[in-house]
Amino acid sequence: MNVLLELWETPFGLPPFERIRDEDFGPAFDEALVRARAAVSAIAEGPAADFAGVIEALELAEGDLDRVAGVFYNLAGADSTEAREALMRELAPKMSEFSSEVTNNKALWAKIEALWLGREGQGLTAEQGRVLELYRQMFVRSGAALDGAAAERLTAVKARLAVLGTQFGQNLLADERAWSMELAEADLAALPEFVQDAARAAGAEKGTGPVVTLSRSLIVPFLQFSPNRVLREKAYAAWVARGANGGETDNRAIAAEILALRAERAQLLGYADFAAFKLEPEMAKTPDAVRDLLMRVWQPARAKALADAAVLEAMLCADGYPAPLEPWDWRYYSEKRRKAEHDLDEAVLKPYLSLDAMLGAMFDCSTRLFGLEFREIEGPFYHPDVRGWEVTRQGKHVAVFLGDYFARGSKRSGAWCSAMRSQRKLGGDQRPIVVNVCNFAKGDPCLLSYDDARTLFHEFGHALHQMLSDVTYGFISGTSVARDFVELPSQLYEHWLEVPSVLEAHARHHETGEPMPADMLKRLLDAGTYDQGFATVEFVACAMVDLEFHTGVPSVDPMQKQAEVLESLGMPRAIRMRHATPHFAHVFSGDGYSAGYYSYMWSEVMDADAFAAFEEAGDAFDPKVAAKLERYILSAGGSEDAEALYLKFRGRMPGVEPLLKGRGLLEPA
């Protein structure tokens, strides 16, 4: 028996990582696909025509496949090997083909459509009605109503998109692995100790002396603190060139083909363009609604960024360099300005923000809000860096939470939350196994920047959405919600990092245990909106490029289209997109955030308003507001329309003003 297909007799049903080998995955997927095909065929061809016999049976039909995929895709992203990358390339068309087989099954589609048309007489619960609606929507949007050549072409398009998305991500990882810049002793000595430690650790992994790599947790502090402008330019050039270096790992032609195929997919399904198709089930609904939000934020953000650029350029000139300010200068002079204006030196701040201290803060907040308790458990897990906790409430098991926090060459960049197993009640009470993955620079101890700590809280907000899920059907469990709603729990949880009492209790010096001095804490919180012109501009530029990529006829040259969009916006010269097209993994490594990168900002409109509910109650940990938040947002999953859930929590939909205020972009009255 393949270990991946066994019933795991392990604590909490965790995968037996120490027994799993790369060579187990291929045969396990093959067998799981055989079993899933047989189960789906039995449903389609069998006599059952009620909700239990069709929808509930479909919910359980892919159990083995879900289990194998839950392990494999987590490992492939967080701890890649050549074998795993090869299997990902092999699986992309296979998994797409299976998905198309299910949604193109006419007998199955007929049963789902009949259930939908006769839903009033089915005696369905509200949750069952919602699940049926979403299943039907999934089938329609996957082409179930298409016939003949159109259906065949859609299947081919989706298969090719799956291959291209995998290739895009692997090319990006290859470019990130391939580049590093060794630092001479003098250049290393000019950096703060925590950056020196990170550079040494990165070099040790590569078997060299201290290096700068393209890991955000290392290159960003290098750009912040290195006084060597030539090295900053060299490092920055490599960072923004990911996916655009020519040769086999160049992503520009892949991006163009992806955009063309997405447009064709939308047209086959009867939509004007891919953005119209993608946004239909989201809260925003239309490209015009997204564009309106982004432009309402863009104008004040751009004005603030231009004013800041003038200040930073004057600092550059005062150092004896000629104008203009360049993108590789911004972070360096912004850090100097932050130190001068707010008396905040990240090198002095970070010792109070150790990873262990911030984990304590993160867990403590969830205990105070939702009564969760965390007990660290022993592995082995899938990598020695991974830590695990059992999550309980009033003595009852809730979930297993895994944290994988350190950058390494085998891990794709960024930070994310995923589930090796999602919550559901159908077929038995299945409790989730949730994973947070980050790319912090490894140190002894690991010291975080304030932005790193915010990322930690952000991803844990997603984890809470998974762990507190309380639904019957896995199809609507946890983060299975509208894309522009999914970031609400994560961005909302960031606010508790800004609660003074949280940092007073947990931000303690890793050597002395002393709390962060009160004046430092005040300066840190007062600087909360510092450089938000820059941060907002680099984000909105990405969101606008993504939207325009997918609106109208796709460009045959995405790089030219990107340049045109940025020019039309009046993009400040010294700021670049946070993710330029060749390394815009959110949009091109898969379908998740395509025509949807705006989602972070759409959710931010709600998260600013949602935290205001606690402020209005006079307590950031008000138990009544926390209970409403859990009931209507965190535990509900996709059991109702996102707007309906938010209205139940807050009573109204918010405007954009709380977002602008939170970013320091609202002009005083």
Model confidence pLDDT, tens digit, residues 221-246: 999 999 999 999 999 999 999 999 99
Residues of the chain with CATH 1.10.1370.40: 351-529
Task: Name the pLDDT band for 485 (thresholds 50, 70, 90).
Answer: very high
Give residue 667's pLDDT.
72
Gap between the terminal Cα atoms of the chain: 70
Q: Is residue 669 predicted with pLDDT exceeding 70?
A: no
- Proportion of the chain above pLDDT 70, given as a percent: 100
Identify which of 663, 669, 549, 587 has the alpha carbon closest to the alpha carbon of residue 251: 587
Burial of residue 200 (CB within 10 Å: 0-12, 13-18, 19+) is middle
Taking the domain 351-529, which CATH number applies?
A: 1.10.1370.40
Give residue 288's pLDDT.
97
pLDDT tens, position by position, 334-366: 999 999 999 999 899 999 999 999 999 999 999
pLDDT tens, position by position, 193-218: 999 999 999 999 999 999 999 999 99
> At a CB cut-off of 8 Å and minimum separation 6, what does 594 contact?
262, 274, 278, 546, 550, 587, 588
Q: Which amino acid belongs to residue 433?
A: I
Contact 269, 143 (CB under 8 A): yes
| Cα of 57 vs its chain's centroid, Å | 31
pLDDT tens, position by position, 375-386: 999 999 999 999
Pick the residue with more confidence: 413 or 478? 478
For the chain, the maximum distance between any two Cα atoms, rounded to a whole number of angstroms, is 82
Question: Rounded to an integer, what distance in angstroms lies between the CA atom of residue 435 and that of residue 454?
Answer: 17
Give residue 237's pLDDT.
98
Give the active site residue among 59, 346, 459, 630.
459
Give residue 1's pLDDT.
84
Give residue 668's pLDDT.
60
pLDDT tens, position by position, 426-450: 999 999 999 999 999 998 899 999 9
Task: Name the pLDDT band for 533 (thresholds 50, 70, 90).
Answer: very high
- Proportion of the chain above pLDDT 90, given as a percent: 97
Identify which of 336, 338, 327 has the alpha carbon closest to the alpha carbon of residue 235: 327
User: CATH homologous superfamily of domain 3-103+105-141?
Assistant: Endopeptidase. Chain P; domain 1 (1.20.1050.40)
Identify which of 32, 47, 42 has the alpha carbon closest to the alpha carbon of residue 95: 32
State yes or no: is 280 an active-site residue.
no
Question: Rounded to an integer, what distance in angstroms lies between the CA atom of residue 585 and that of residue 135?
Answer: 28
SS3 572: coil
pLDDT tens, position by position, 4-59: 999 999 999 999 999 999 999 999 999 999 999 999 999 999 999 999 999 999 99
Contact 433, 420 (CB under 8 A): yes
Give residue 422's pLDDT.
98
Identify which of 151, 163, 49 has the alpha carbon closest to the alpha carbon of residue 105: 151
Average pLDDT, the chain: 96
Contact 440, 407 (CB under 8 A): yes
Question: Rounded to an integer, what distance in angstroms lies between the CA atom of residue 308 and that of residue 288?
Answer: 30
Q: Is residue 610 predicted with pLDDT exceeding 90?
A: yes
Residues of the chain with CATH 1.20.1050.40: 3-103+105-141
**Helical axes 483-494 vs 642-650, angle rounded to 10°:** 30
Q: Is residue 527 predicted with pLDDT exceeding 70?
A: yes
